[in-house]
Structure 1
């Protein structure tokens, strides 16, 4: 039997963790050599994955939210061990971006009958980045949304916090250095650097498609709209970004600029908070680099 390690985060999302675990165990146990390990305050998903690789795991399952997925992926990057995902978080952005099933039973089917495919990874100041990093509005939104609110309201918790942040957010200036080109921006509200992003990650949708399979980072810059009501102006720009994702078109809005690049260094004045794959990670300046074809992911057959 294939040796499979299940990295199970018991505090992810708002579901019934013991019930979820039993569903997973019941569907997999007769088909693979299943090693179930739990994350805890003193045992991260990354630490468990490192142990699993060392002990010869042939597949590692991340059963949790995007934070769990990111930690597992960071240790499997540039290895031959694939990652499967059983989404149990609030946003489940990684699964949404790759059209992976969010239903536990269907996700287990992918574990058993799916095929591994390579996707890109990226780094942010040397830390692995599975999805995206946000500077400005997104960072402030994540920082001010607590776990209890996320568990109660799900993705809507982020939307409510974002609207509240818009009313008090201060703009900043930014400089981007992509190696072969540089750019300066004034009155910036948000910068998003994405390796992979679903359409619901609105602030990442400036480019045509955030595929995670082109060896490039997708950078979206949102500046203060020229409107009487800044909040309405930002909502208008956000709507355009959402429409661009649905229609697979590059966003066309005067407050939105986008570009693709394999590397980028971002400096801001004043320094801004940074959120990386849903976790707060200090402040700018920050350097990003794409890592093409670096992670095997179990995909539907």
Structure 2
């Protein structure tokens, strides 16, 4: 089988491309290598591969899904990042040999929704802003030492010094929130932060979920953290939760987004939309 292997050597788990390639070839793969560079991704989308395999963390999956979508072929995942939230949410094996076997021999495919931002940036888990961006920056230098625990440490540090942000949130043209918030989460799978989740998001329902955590005391952030770790955050009575096909975020200048673990500047305004059933994922 002809494989377009898209790998991110910079992922938290330090992707060993050679190890992945050897494991894939053991199952009959003919491999062409690509990076996450924009030009390389464009070349991958013209490669004629029969299957796209991405080896990396959560931030690598959205761009690879766009390539698979363009080629009209399935996407398979070798999770080699730190959090691997997408893999966990979809039951993808975390061990490289097992993931490679599934990538090559898996016959079950699942249609998955794909989120898009104003910039065209694709995401599969969440795009969120507020305390989460501070947490991501705090966690980044700790990943190589602490692994997934770095996310918890980063969140604790962020909770001690981050400030709420003023925002206006609209869903399908209807304003649902206009005040200060600790965090705004727009979800496809809803999985993020090394084990946190919205709990209500479904990557096959054709809708984005948005949860707004209103500003309040720092002590109250403990309850927020518990809700995210247990997938019950949207059930907390003061959390604003809605679903829709288009989420508009009006944010202060200089605001950043945490998009599948990657921190990028937010658009002004930032518009998140959904492409239902955009790509096929190889699943167990």
TM-score, scaled to structure 1: 0.84
Give the SS at the match of 2:59. Answer: helix
Greater shift in the superposed pair: 63-72 or 179-188 = 179-188
Instruction: Give the whole-Å Cα distance in 2 for the aligned partners of 1:55 and 1:282.
Output: 31
Give the SS at the match of 1:151. Answer: helix
Give the SS at the match of 1:291. Answer: strand
Q: Which residue of structure 1 lines up, in the alignment, with residue 235 of structure 2?
A: 252
Q: Which residue of structure 2 lines up, in the alignment, with residue 37 of structure 1?
A: 33
Cα distance change of structure 1 residues 50 and 223 upon mapping to structure 2, 3 Å threshold: same
Among 146, 156, 165, the residue aligned to 1:163: 156
Contact 2:151 2:194 in 1 (8 A): no
Query: Please, which runs of 5 or more residues in structure 1 have no aligned partner?
Result: none
Q: Which residue of structure 2 lines up, in the alignment, with residue 103 of structure 1?
A: 95
Cα distance change of structure 1 residues 9 and 185 upon mapping to structure 2, 3 Å threshold: same
Shift of residue 90, structure 1, vs aligned partner: 0.5
Contact 2:52 2:67 in 1 (8 A): no
Instruction: Please say if 1:278 is aligned against 2:271.
Output: no
Q: Which residue of structure 1 lines up, in the alignment, with residue 277 of structure 2?
A: 293
Give the SS at the match of 2:189. Answer: coil
The CA RMSD measured in Å over matched residues stands at 2.4
Aligned residues: 281
Cα distance change of structure 1 residues 34 and 177 upon mapping to structure 2, 3 Å threshold: same
Shift of residue 121, structure 1, vs aligned partner: 0.4
Q: C-alpha offsets along residues 190-239 of structure 1, whole Å, 9 cap, x if unaligned?
A: 0010112337667751xx521210110010111124xxxx3331111221
Greater shift in the superposed pair: 6-15 or 134-143 = 6-15
Q: Which residue of structure 2 lines up, in the alignment, with residue 237 of structure 1?
A: 224
Instruction: Give the whole-Å Cα distance in 2 for the aligned partners of 1:196 and 1:113.
Output: 24
Contact 2:254 2:265 in 1 (8 A): no
Shift of residue 36, structure 1, vs aligned partner: 4.7
Instruction: Give the whole-Å Cα distance in 2 for the aligned partners of 1:190 and 1:250.
Output: 12
Q: Which residue of structure 2 lines up, in the alignment, with residue 75 of structure 1?
A: 67
Instruction: Give the whole-Å Cα distance in 2 for the aligned partners of 1:103 and 1:30.
Output: 15
Among 124, 137, 144, the residue aligned to 2:117: 124
Q: Which residue of structure 2 lines up, in the alignment, with residue 151 of structure 1?
A: 144
Q: Which residue of structure 1 lines up, in the alignment, with residue 215 of structure 2?
A: 224
Query: Please, which runs of 5 or more residues in structure 2 have no aligned partner?
Result: none
Contact 1:263 1:290 in 2 (8 A): yes
